Structure 1
Amino acid sequence: MDSDADAPIVTIAPGAVCGVWRNGSAAFLGIPFAQAPVGELRFAAPAPPEPWDGVRDAIEYGATAKRDKPGEQTLIPEPAIPGDATLNVNVFTPAPGDPSAALPVLVYIHGGGYTEGSPASPWYDGRAFNRDGVVTVTVSYRLGFDGFGHIAGAPSNRGVRDWLASLEWVQANIAQFGGDPARVTIAGQSAGGGAVLILLGMPAAQHLFHSAWALSGAIANVSGERARTASARLARLAGVPATRDGFASVPEARLFALQEAAASPDSSDPLAALGTLLDEGLPWGPMIDGDLLVRPTLDAIRDGVGADKPLVLGANDDEFTMVTDSAKGKLRLVPASLALGRMVRDRDVRRRYLAANAAQRRKGTAAVLGRYSTDRLFRASLVRTVEARGNAPTWAYRFSWVSPTKHWAVHCLDVPFWFDCLDAEGVTAIAGEAPPRALADAMHGAAVAFIREGEPGWPAWTARPGATRVFGGEASLPDVSVDGYASVRALV
């Protein structure tokens, strides 16, 4: 069975695809869920894929919206694969061609601040989930200005429309790969986690999934005014009218090169860049457009959209402390209260926050600013989301294991544990030579339990407000904290 002669072949609506066997499960890579967004389809809504004759090879990752940046180093290895046909999915399954298997399905949306990231990362390989009886799909979507920029005369939120189109593809085709379209869990990390929360609050997406897991997800709704301002600035930098035809006349590579400067002032100071992010949010991302996204996501969730869907969400303890850590020499003699005063103007809020974070304060001012940045972007947003859900089934967790190489529970550190891919390329750089197997077993096991059974294995916040599973915390502390996010309450 594990030979080229017996390669797995699955027939879906556009045609047949041939994958590859890998130790008992199959991978089908680079299957188009929409036509290439080029030519007349650039800046258009995703168009259904054209059918093909014969059997299409699906043995290599398809083109990515991420483009190569020589010398770029990211926490997650996410390769850039050249090509135009960037709207594709990768399917990993233990039961190809067997609709009767009806296995639960995980659809994973990669992160990258809506401007970077790739579904072709070795960390997102679905083999461990396949081992545990879960069909896994990773999806691509348009990034940056191409995916999210405001363009007069073009559909808004094209990247969001790509998410919807990929989920529609799953509904139409996943049974042929052994998956159950009625048991689809969407998940994602960082911007992908934000995508999960946005989809959770979208009425138009409710029929496309039945549960959700957001890793380090922050709700990032870009205002229409900010989106229009950034697009106008980009047009000026490119020397074209701020119209669909104007932007279409600029090569993709040129727009990618200009989009960062158009969104925010250039700064080589990481603390200044972090301050801009805290004050203004992500430069490109899902926009309140009055059409697809009619109102802010948190408002929609508070009004009950997605309340029938179980949700797990969590964050790492020190997502961005490695950024402020780079400035700890400069901050060594600056009192934490003084440094934080530049970010938190309300004296009472600042006092309560510092009191609740006394242990972090003892680690120095850089540690306090890193924790505050983490709390502003992720952890306070998490608490707001949980509380906005009211009685909807919701579970919260923290990832607290400290990286031996990065020295904090940093952004992206949880991903190889969640996917149970500790032997994958790049893991040792962020998790050291001997990442704890028991932690991967616990976190991945919780994900599998949730995807298969609808519960991750600890008390829901709904039943016990504040209840938080702590992954990788101190051995002396309980695995479930009675109020795991008490330290962010001053910011909520």
Structure 2
Amino acid sequence: MSLDTGVVLMGLGNDPHGISLVRETPCGPVEGVLIGGVERFLGIPYAAAPVGRNRFAVPTLPEPWSETLAAGHYGPTAGQVPYSGALGTLLPTVVIPGDACLNVNVFAPAKRTSGLRPVLLWIHGGSLQHGSNALPGYDGTAFARDAVVFVAANYRLGAEGFSLLEDAPPNLGLADVIAALEWTRANIASFGGDPEQVTLMGHGAGGTMVAALLAHPRASSLFARAIIQSAPLTALPLSRARRMTQRIAKDLGIEATREEFSARTPAELLASHLRVAADSTPLNGGPAHGLAIEPLLVPRDPLEAMLAGAGMDIPLLIGTTTQELRLWLGPTGRGAKVSRVHLAVARRKAGISKDAQRLYGRNRPGAGPGEILGALATDKVLRVPMYTLADARRYAEGQTQVYEFAWHSPVQDLGAAHRMELPFVFDNLGTKDAAGLVGEEAPQSLATAMHEAWVCFATLGYAEWPHWDIRRPVKTFNGLGNDVVFSPRDDEAGAIC
């Protein structure tokens, strides 16, 4: 029995585990499963396993296969260590052993039409050291249900993906993302997706990589639209980006070369990373891996490049949560430990004026130093650069839409913290992982509204609220009216500049 050309059903009936089906791809046949009107193909390699001669090297195409590849279960994940402490309970980790971590998951609508469907390619966050496409929260069923072909990609993390070695290419994790984009362009039609209508979507560190690719000269040949969620828009100079590599090399007593790093197992590099980055968080600015500005993939700081006109022809949906830093302040107890002295020191280090600190305090009666520090840092690192970019794109007639997620989670004083919007965007409030972040009574109406907006953008290239203009419209997802607010907290944004 066949659904359409290139699809072969392997079983019938009401099996709760679904019906097996096979699709032909340029690399070879893959066998997935049909469940509830959604086709799921998991763990498909988009590049060769990054081991042996492929370790600390740019990704290469996987060897084609002739026998059917089983794609009914998630593939291996990139090497990582789970979050610790309070964050470990909020941000679960899935670790699946195996070498072939450079894989994608595809969720596609089973019901076919005469045309191809829009595609959404998801790049997860996690500070370039956590996360994978196997996390339950990144299940793409809701997007496929709404006629979008959803692809989620893994990439190399930590030392394997972002070391700066003397004789190895830099930014390998970003090179992996490019390889996933190229795989999508070459293969997605086999799953009913349109290779000319790919939206690249990333959160946190994944969003930073989207920004880097949006600024890349080849951007328009790789994807048609972009979504950046809660992400810094900048990369690091080589001297700063190299610090983590140098610390790991010193810790292990080796040189920062490909030969010496390759002689160490991934587990040894992970253990070293844990030692040298102990207690490092986005709040304290401790050592961490980051995107590096280098001639090949990131020839210029992404924000500077975009302000100068890069990527202006690509529609952009971009936004933040209202209280990004609260993820590292509330559950961990760090926020309560921030004193006025800590606040003053952090403010001066960030180049924020005392007048700005006073303004933020007046606008938040009763707020402690930790809350004020979180608001200042959120705006300095994320909101003000985002507004600056949106203004530049407006002057260049680029299409930009801005949102803010303002609904407050009742869980562990999270409020509208970093990552709180994801269960709503993915419309999966019913999952255990989502409940751990947003509680069991989060408003489905908010999930419906956000998910529909993302589907609309991926499908049409715009959501239903006004494009950024002189009024600075911000769609505010608060679970109440979800109104468009014009120039929200403009006094604070002006004080930070």
TM-score, normalised to structure 1, is: 0.91
Aligned to 1:202: 216
1:24 aligns to 2:37 (yes or no):
yes
Aligned to 1:422: 429
SS at match of 1:128: helix
Correspondence for 2:190 among 154, 173, 176: 176
Moved more, 85-94 or 58-67: 58-67
Aligned to 1:470: 476
Correspondence for 2:305 among 300, 307, 312: 300
Q: Distance in 2 between matches of 1:71 and 1:349?
A: 34
Name stretches of at least 5 consecutive residues in structure 2 with no aligned partner.
4-8, 13-18
Contact (CA 8 Å) 1:361, 1:367: kept in 2 or not?
no
Q: Distance in 2 between matches of 1:199 and 1:70?
A: 28
Correspondence for 1:379 among 366, 370, 383: 383
Q: 1:339: how far off? A: 4.7
Q: Distance in 2 between matches of 1:230 and 1:70?
A: 19
Moved more, 362-371 or 15-24: 362-371
The 1:382/1:473 distance shift into structure 2, 3 A limit, reads: farther
The 1:363/1:195 distance shift into structure 2, 3 A limit, reads: same
Q: 1:357: how far off? A: 5.4
Q: 1:449: how far off? A: 0.9
Q: 1:193: how far off? A: 1.4
Q: Distance in 2 between matches of 1:404 and 1:275?
A: 22
Q: 1:372: how far off? A: 1.9
Q: Distance in 1 between matches of 2:60 and 2:231?
A: 28
Contact (CA 8 Å) 2:199, 2:458: kept in 1 or not?
yes
Correspondence for 1:290 among 292, 295, 299: 295
Q: 1:197: how far off? A: 1.1
Q: Distance in 2 between matches of 1:351 and 1:339?
A: 17
Moved more, 221-230 or 22-31: 221-230
Provide, for residues 425-461 of structure 1, a one-character-per-residue CA deviation record: whole Å limited to 9, x for no partner.
2111211111101100111111011111111111111
* One-letter amino acid of the structure 2 residue matched with residue 415 of structure 1: L
Name stretches of at least 5 consecutive residues in structure 1 with no aligned partner.
none
Q: 1:488: how far off? A: 2.6
Moved more, 352-361 or 152-161: 352-361
The 1:77/1:230 distance shift into structure 2, 3 A limit, reads: closer
* One-letter amino acid of the structure 1 residue matched with residue 390 of structure 2: V
Moved more, 219-228 or 63-72: 63-72
1:320 aligns to 2:328 (yes or no):
no
Aligned to 1:120: 134
The 1:70/1:107 distance shift into structure 2, 3 A limit, reads: closer
Correspondence for 1:141 among 155, 171, 179: 155
The 1:275/1:32 distance shift into structure 2, 3 A limit, reads: closer
RMSD: 2.3
Aligned to 2:75: 62
* One-letter amino acid of the structure 1 residue matched with residue 483 of structure 2: D
The 1:347/1:354 distance shift into structure 2, 3 A limit, reads: farther
Q: 1:361: how far off? A: 4.3
Correspondence for 1:192 among 171, 187, 206: 206
Q: 1:353: how far off? A: 4.5
Provide, for residues 314-366 of structure 1, a one-character-per-residue CA deviation record: whole Å limited to 9, x for no partner.
111111224334245445xx55xx55321223998331353255333433222
* One-letter amino acid of the structure 1 residue matched with residue 460 of structure 2: E
Provide, for residues 198-253 of structure 1, a one-character-per-residue CA deviation record: whole Å limited to 9, x for no partner.
11111133311000111111124121112333323221211222211111111111
The 1:11/1:328 distance shift into structure 2, 3 A limit, reads: closer
Aligned to 2:6: none
The 1:71/1:323 distance shift into structure 2, 3 A limit, reads: closer
Aligned to 1:340: 343
SS at match of 1:276: coil
Contact (CA 8 Å) 1:201, 1:306: kept in 2 or not?
yes
* One-letter amino acid of the structure 1 residue matched with residue 447 of structure 2: A
SS at match of 1:151: coil
Moved more, 103-112 or 399-408: 399-408
Query: What is the percentage of aligned positions where both structures have the same residue?
Result: 37
Contact (CA 8 Å) 2:188, 2:194: kept in 1 or not?
yes
* One-letter amino acid of the structure 2 residue matched with residue 312 of structure 1: L
* One-letter amino acid of the structure 2 residue matched with residue 151 of structure 1: L
Counterparts in 2 of 1:4-15, with a 5 A limit?
4-5=11-12, 7-15=20-28
* One-letter amino acid of the structure 1 residue matched with residue 131 of structure 2: G
Q: Distance in 2 between matches of 1:431 and 1:285?
A: 29
How many residues in Structure 1 have an aligned counterpart in Structure 2? 475
Aligned to 1:160: 174
1:393 aligns to 2:437 (yes or no):
no
